[in-house]
Amino acid sequence: MAGLALATLANVALLAFLVALSGFIFSGPEGARGDAAAVAVWSVAVALSVTAIIAGWTLRVRGASPRLVQAAAWAPLAPWTALALWSML
C-alpha cells in the first residue's frame, strides 16, 4: 500500500511537471502552435501518468498481486528514472 501511495504521489508530481512544461511545448500559455511531435509525446506522457494511477488502484482493489500493482503504478516513471541516472554518468 505504501509503495502504491508513493507511486501515486510520484505520478502526480510528474503530471505537475508536465503541466508546467506545457507552456514551452505549446508555444505560450494559450498557444497551440507547438511542434506536432512534441505535442504528441507530451499528450502520451500525460495519458500514461493518469492511466498508471487508475490502473494501480484498480488492480489493488481487484486483488492483483502486489508486484503487478507496483509495476503498473511505476511504469510511466521508469523512462524518466533511467534518463536521470544516465545523465549522472
Tell me which residue of 38, 48, 49 sits closest to 13, measured CA to CA: 49
How confident is the prediction for the chain on average, in pLDDT?
A: 79
Its pTM stands at 0.70
pLDDT on residue 85: 67
Percentage of the chain exceeding pLDDT 90: 3
* Alpha helices for the chain (secondary structure H): 2-25, 36-61, 66-74, 78-87
Q: Which tens digits make up the pLDDT trace of 31-70?
A: 566 677 777 777 888 888 888 888 889 988 998 888 888 8
Instruction: Give the integer Cα–Cα distance in Å for 49 and 84.
Output: 18
Cβ(42)–Cβ(21) under 8 Å?
yes
